[in-house]
Amino acid sequence: MNQYSDSDVNGRVSAYDFGDDWIHIEFSDGVVYEYTYASAGAHYIEMMKRLAKAGVALNEFIDMHVKHKYSRRVR
């Protein structure tokens, strides 16, 4: 997992990892969710990858667009 660094100290996202058609998001409580093209849509997954790499507004994006569109809880 890659450390997610956002200047928002209240952000819940702590780490991420991704492949061609998925992204794993680890939250500050240690829970990891997998979002996929099939569960959330390719456009949203690609946007999440860009935000994760940039360290900008990923938590807000998840809350607004894909909060319950994960494919599974990884841990």
Could you tell me the residue ranges of all domains in the chain? 2-73
What's the whole-number mean pLDDT along residues 36-50? 99
End-to-end CA distance of the chain: give it in Å, rounded. 13
**What distance in Å separates the CA atoms of residue 34 and residue 32, rounded to the nearest whole number?**
7
What's the whole-number mean pLDDT along residues 50-63? 95
Pull the structure tokens for residue 64. Answer: 């607004």
What's the whole-number mean pLDDT along residues 12-21? 97
Indicate if the pLDDT at residue 27 is higher than 80: yes
Residue pointed to by tokens 């360290």? 55
Residue pointed to by tokens 């940039």? 54
What's the whole-number mean pLDDT along residues 15-40? 98
Indicate if the pLDDT at residue 10 is higher than 80: no
2 contacts 10 by C-beta, under 8 angstroms: no
User: Which secondary structure element, helix H or strand E, spans residue 42, and what is its range?
Assistant: helix 42-54
- Whether the model clears a pTM of 0.75, i.e. scores above it, the answer is yes
What's the whole-number mean pLDDT along residues 17-46? 98
Chain-wide mean pLDDT for the chain?
94
Residue 8's pLDDT is 63
